[in-house]
Amino acid sequence: MSYYKHHIFFCINERRGGQACCVQHDAEGAMDHCKGLVKAAQLAGPGGVRVNRAGCLDRCAGGPVAVVYPEEVWYTYVDKQDIDEIVESHLKNGKVVERLRLAPDIGR
């Protein structure tokens, strides 16, 4: 058994020179929103959910991105409602949000 049931990482990377990056899409705000929802639902902590920032996840073309482990599900999102859905469906109920899945061939 793993320490956390789900571990979600948000790319918070900022690229120089105007290159596409997740920070341009308020990734930090999305991560903070997710963290607040997880805490409010009492999902945070050992045996539950951990929300973390990450450096570049090398999937910039699909940004902003987040990845949930141990399932290795990559998500893209547009707004806080998308984060609400990821928390409710995936992190709380274990059901992947297919409409937000990042296509496997999208990289930098």
* pLDDT exceeds 70 at position 107: yes
| Structural domain boundaries enclosing 46 | 9-77+92-100
Q: Read off the tokens for 38.
A: 């997880």
List all residues 6 or more positions away from 64 whose beta carbon is below 8 Å from its beta carbon: 10, 11, 22, 25, 26, 27, 30, 76, 77
Residue 32 inside a domain? The answer is: yes
Residue 83 inside a domain? The answer is: no
The CATH number that applies at residue 36 is 3.40.30.10
Q: pLDDT at position 1, please?
A: 63
- Mean pLDDT across 21-46: 94
How many domains does one find in the chain? 1
* pLDDT exceeds 90 at position 14: no
Q: CA 78, CA 93: separation in Å to the nearest integer? A: 21
Average pLDDT value for the chain: 93
- Mean pLDDT across 53-78: 94
Quick check: 86 and 100 in contact, CB under 8 A? yes
Residue 1 inside a domain? The answer is: no
- pTM for the model stands at 0.93
